[in-house]
């Protein structure tokens, strides 16, 4: 990393920035937590948290909003990684929210618990009195996210007001809130999908197996490959077939599509992404396709 | 590969969106699904061409009103560099957004329509760029195709702008004749401007030297967080006490003698720690953890510097302030929260010396307040000492934000002047 002209690689700069953001949160907030889904972005975030506070332990708990529709490989990974780090893992369950009548389960073939997560998340933030919540969102993911701050203010309803955001200058983050409000913090704001993969390669970070090519029974819907699962409703006109696939993003089984790919190593994934012409959300996320402003609407309500 | 952060200024009419769209498209940072969505929306609205501004206008209100409201960040990379674009709107809230985008920029591109020449808006953008000390400025003279690629017209604009820029603090100014629509001199040099001997815009962005823009002379390490492991079974780190932060200036090495502020006590750096092991040097923008040879009471908000090169310890500050709040005004006697490096204190506005007209650079000394998007020179009194440098010398230790204590909104951005 060190050269005579003191240049730093893009990953070093992004890493230093993310570590600075995490320490700022630990210093300025009473009760932060880190959203950890077992997906690649949150795995990278966790590594950055390890680095930010080493040799001390990560000074905040991890939280996962579990829809009950997650891939089992990812849930196993989530639990194992939390134990390895000695971190406290809070699981906020969408099923509990349904059982308590806080939300009503969608019905029909396209039923998804994706949107229900918002209520579960906001309830958990309130219950645990979290005042800062780390998320792994990146600005390159989606155009509403391109305008979001690193410290993104949420009112006491958990809502985001995109037209009334606090200006963010230099690396000075405004952490002032009232009780009941919170800040969503995005340390990976300036990372791209490729940066995340380059970092996973450089650091030798382990990720769940479903990111790599494997054989899976899938069916096609709207140009996406959805998995054969008891939680995904499949019509008679949607035949199953076997394919060699991998996941570019990891979300709910009901709305996360696989891509046909032979990429079995991180190096092969990086090659594939460098050549791809479709965004990761466009290729694999049904939740973003519902309308032009789908993400903005969900974010206003308090989505990740 | 390193990172270049640049801000773009100009309005849609100047072809800014087209230029950004072209940079993204030619570097393959626009994906097919994004382009399809833009084409679909353009068609639905009856627009005949593909409106690339739809790519950057991410919010519903922006698309509905056809304006850009907020700073949008865009990313692309070439084999040489990763680029972060802070795309700031030209019309609405220009000052607040441009100041925000410029605060972290290594370079700014100001677009000028070759037919219209240097407008009031161009001068405003150039002034803000120089106020925020963006080290490199590119004047992209766009729509050269509409003036028959005239060298004479290009030179006219260059002369006029150079004359204006001599009044500003612009150290590196580059003029490039382009046509964003046709791609002339954007990615590669154009056949249409044989008289232009410089490089294409992208080539300039890829090669402009930014490594020495950082201050590697004055050691400044604002203490951000104290690391004390409390794992019961971790005897190796039982007595560990490290001071974490991001280097804001200079080069630190183990063994260096340093001074702690505010105490003024000196000690030596015992070790520069990271998760990946100790390092031999730390410099901006590295985030590291320092350990010292002596036991000194150090906490967040303190500063580490060199005994013979210290920042100014100031409770009275002179600064240029850009006011960013709607509704509330800055007036003498305003009390605000101030955040400077890792230290937060309270500030009292003692005096407003003048308000600056960003178009004419005229100083209005009769002004009694600063409103939204206005810039002025103020004197502040701070409740506790801040460790500051001139903003011109170090953007990290010279910049601060002002926060309204009632609304908690970020209402002002300040740049320290005449620290002494």
pLDDT tens digits, residue range B45-59? Answer: 766 566 666 666 656
Q: Report the percent of chain A where pLDDT is more than 70.
A: 91
Q: How far apart are the CA of B365 and the nearest CA of chain A, in angstroms?
A: 27
**Rounded to two decimals, what is the model's pTM?**
0.93
For residue B25, pLDDT beyond 90: no
Q: Report the percent of chain B where pLDDT is more than 90.
A: 68
Contact A167 B100 (CB under 8 A): yes
Of A124 and A276, the one with more pLDDT:
A124
pLDDT of residue A1: 44
For residue A278, pLDDT beyond 80: no
Q: How far apart are the CA of A98 and the nearest CA of chain B, in angstroms?
A: 31
Q: What is the mean pLDDT of chain B?
A: 90
Confidence bin at A2 (pLDDT 50/70/90): very low
- The string over B78-111, giving b where at least 16 C-beta atoms fall within 10 Å of a residue's C-beta and e elsewhere, is beebbbbbbbbbbeebbbbbbbbbbbbbbbbbbb
Q: Any idea which architecture A10-195+293-301 has in CATH? A: 3-Layer(aba) Sandwich (3.40)
Ramachandran assignment for A136, one of left (phi > 0), alpha (psi -120 to 50 degrees), beta (any other): alpha
For residue A5, pLDDT beyond 60: yes
pLDDT of residue B247: 98
Give yes or no for B49 touching A (CB within 8 A): no
pLDDT tens track for A177-200: 999 999 999 999 999 999 999 999
Q: Which of residues 60-89 of B touch A (CB under 8 A)?
A: 60-61, 63, 69-75, 77, 81-82, 84
pLDDT of residue B51: 65
Confidence bin at A98 (pLDDT 50/70/90): confident
Query: Which residues in chain A are contacts of B413 at CB distance < 8 A?
Result: 167, 169
Query: In this predicted complex, what is the ipTM?
Result: 0.93
Average pLDDT over residues B294-307: 97
Of B330 and B420, the one with more pLDDT:
B330
Domain ranges of chain A: 10-195+293-301, 208-288
For residue A231, pLDDT beyond 80: yes
Q: Which of residues 41-60 of A touch B (CB under 8 A)?
A: 50-57
- Whole-angstrom CA distances from B148 to A44, B111, B144 are 51, 18, 6
CB nearest B70 (choices: A26, A147, A189) = A147
pLDDT tens track for B178-191: 998 888 999 999 99
pLDDT of residue B375: 95
Average pLDDT over residues B387-394: 96
Q: What is the mean pLDDT of chain A?
A: 88
The C-alpha atoms of residue B134 and residue B107 are separated, in whole angstroms, by 6
Residue B16 marked in a binding site:
yes
Confidence bin at B239 (pLDDT 50/70/90): confident
pLDDT of residue B39: 75
CB atoms within 10 A of CB B239: 8
Give yes or no for B128 touching A (CB within 8 A): no
CB nearest B70 (choices: A24, A140, A165) = A165
Lowest mean pLDDT among A37-41, A248-252, A263-267, B323-327: A248-252
pLDDT tens track for A99-117: 888 888 888 877 788 788 8
pLDDT of residue B54: 67
pLDDT of residue B65: 60
Average pLDDT over residues B309-331: 95
pLDDT of residue B22: 84
For residue B349, pLDDT beyond 50: yes
Closest A-chain CA to B61: A163
Residue B91 marked in a binding site:
yes
For residue B69, pLDDT beyond 70: no
Lowest mean pLDDT among A1-10, B22-31, B107-116, B202-211: A1-10
Rounded to 5 degrees, what angle do the CA atoms A116, A121, A122 make? 105
For residue B328, pLDDT beyond 60: yes
Which residue of A172, A175, A288, A297 is the best one to mutate when testing the B interface, meaning the one whose CB has the most B CBs within 10 A? A172
Q: Which of residues 288-347 of B touch A (CB under 8 A)?
A: 289, 300, 324, 337, 339-340, 342
- Whole-angstrom CA distances from A258 to A236, A304, B37, B186, B340 are 20, 21, 21, 37, 47
Q: How far apart are the CA of A148 and the nearest CA of chain B, in angstroms?
A: 8
Of B346 and A301, the one with more pLDDT:
B346
pLDDT of residue A3: 47
CB nearest A54 (choices: B214, B230, B275) = B275
For residue B276, pLDDT beyond 50: yes
A300 neighbors A250 (Cβ within 8 angstroms): no
The C-alpha atoms of residue B168 and residue A241 are separated, in whole angstroms, by 67
pLDDT of residue B71: 83
Confidence bin at A292 (pLDDT 50/70/90): low
Average pLDDT over residues B20-44: 76
Lowest mean pLDDT among B12-16, B24-28, B172-176, B351-355: B12-16
CB nearest A27 (choices: B225, B237, B283) = B225
Lowest mean pLDDT among A142-146, B337-341, B344-348: A142-146
Contact A169 B1 (CB under 8 A): no
Most confident by average pLDDT, A212-221, A291-300, B50-59: A212-221
Closest B-chain CA to A85: B231
Of B355 and B51, the one with more pLDDT:
B355
What is the set of domains in chain B, with CATH numbers? 2-212 (3.40.50.300), 221-305 (2.40.30.10), 312-417 (2.40.30.10)
Run of H or E residues at A220: strand A214-221
pLDDT tens track for A149-180: 999 999 999 898 887 889 999 999 999 999 99
């Amino acid at each position: 990393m060190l050269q005579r002209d003191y240049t730093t690689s893009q990953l070093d700069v992004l890493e230093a920035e993310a570590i600075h953001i995490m320490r700022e949160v630990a210093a300025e907030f009473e009760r932060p937590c880190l959203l950890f889904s077992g997906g690649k972005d949150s795995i990278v975030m966790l590594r950055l948290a390890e680095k930010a506070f080493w040799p001390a332990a990560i000074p905040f708990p991890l939280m996962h909003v579990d829809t009950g529709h997650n891939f089992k490989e990812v849930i196993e990974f989530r639990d194992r990684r939390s134990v390895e780090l000695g971190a406290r893992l809070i699981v906020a369950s969408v099923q509990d929210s349904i059982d308590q009548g806080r939300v009503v389960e969608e019905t029909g073939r396209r039923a998804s618990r994706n949107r229900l997560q918002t209520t579960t998340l906001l309830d958990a933030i309130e219950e645990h009195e979290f005042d800062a919540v780390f998320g792994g969102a990146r600005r390159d993911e989606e155009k509403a996210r391109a305008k979001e701050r690193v410290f993104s203010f949420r009112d006491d309803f958990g809502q985001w007001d995109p037209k009334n955001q606090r200006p963010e200058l230099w690396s000075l983050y405004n952490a002032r809130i009232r009780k009941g409000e919170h800040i969503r913090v995005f340390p990976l704001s300036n990372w791209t999908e490729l940066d995340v993969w380059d970092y996973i390669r450089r650091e030798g970070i382990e990720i769940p197996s479903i990111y790599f090519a494997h054989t899976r029974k899938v069916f096609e819907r709207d140009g996406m490959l959805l998995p054969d699962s008891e939680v995904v409703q499949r019509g008679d006109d949607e035949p199953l077939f076997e394919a060699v696939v991998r996941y570019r993003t990891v979300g709910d089984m009901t709305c996360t599509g696989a891509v046909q790919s032979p990429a079995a190593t991180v190096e092969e994934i990086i090659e594939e992404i460098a050549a791809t012409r479709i965004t990761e959300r466009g290729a694999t996320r049904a939740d973003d396709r519902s309308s032009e402003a789908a993400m903005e609407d969900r974010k206003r309500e308090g989505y990740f | 590969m390193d990172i270049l952060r640049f801000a773009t200024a100009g309005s849609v009419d100047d072809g800014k969106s087209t230029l950004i769209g072209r940079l993204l498209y030619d570097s393959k940072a626009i994906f097919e699904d994004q382009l399809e969505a833009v084409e679909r929306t353009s068609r639905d609205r009856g627009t005949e061409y593909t409106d690339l501004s739809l790519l950057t206008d991410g919010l519903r209100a922006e698309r509905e009103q056809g304006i850009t409201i907020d700073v949008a960040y865009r990313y692309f990379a070439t084999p040489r560099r990763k680029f972060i674009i802070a795309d700031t709107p030209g019309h609405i809230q220009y000052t607040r957004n441009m100041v925000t985008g410029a605060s972290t920029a290594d370079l700014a591109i100001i677009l000028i329509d070759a037919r219209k020449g240097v407008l009031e808006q161009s001068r405003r953008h150039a002034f803000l760029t120089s106020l925020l000390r963006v080290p490199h400025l590119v004047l992209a003279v766009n729509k050269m195709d509409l003036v028959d690629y005239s060298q004479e017209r290009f030179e006219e604009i260059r002369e006029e702008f150079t004359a204006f820029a001599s009044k500003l603090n612009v150290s590196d100014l580059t003029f490039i004749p382009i046509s964003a629509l046709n791609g002339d001199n954007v990615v590669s040099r154009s056949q249409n401007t044989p008289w232009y001997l410089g490089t294409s815009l992208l080539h300039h962005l890829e090669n402009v030297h930014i490594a020495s823009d950082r201050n590697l002379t004055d050691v400044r390490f604002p203490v951000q967080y104290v690391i004390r492991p409390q794992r019961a079974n971790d005897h190796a780190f039982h007595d560990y006490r490290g001071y974490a932060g991001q280097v804001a200036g200079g080069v630190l090495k183990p063994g260096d003698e340093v001074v702690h502020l505010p105490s003024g006590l000196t000690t030596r750096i015992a070790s520069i720690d990271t998760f990946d092991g100790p390092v031999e040097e730390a410099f901006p923008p590295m985030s590291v953890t320092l350990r010292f040879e002596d036991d000194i009471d150090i906490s967040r908000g303190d500063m580490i510097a060199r005994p013979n090169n210290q920042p100014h310890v100031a409770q009275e500050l002179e600064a240029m302030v850009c006011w960013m709040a709607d509704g509330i005004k800055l007036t003498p006697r305003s009390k605000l929260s101030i955040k400077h490096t890792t230290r937060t204190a309270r500030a009292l506005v003692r005096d407003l010396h003048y308000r600056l007209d960003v178009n004419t650079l005229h100083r209005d000394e009769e002004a009694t307040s600063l409103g939204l998007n206005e810039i002025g020179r103020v004197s502040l009194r701070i409740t506790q000492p801040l460790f500051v440098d001139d903003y011109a010398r170090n953007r990290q230790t010279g910049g601060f934000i002002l926060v309204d204590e009632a609304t908690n909104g970020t209402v002002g951005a300040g740049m320290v002047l005449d620290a002494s």
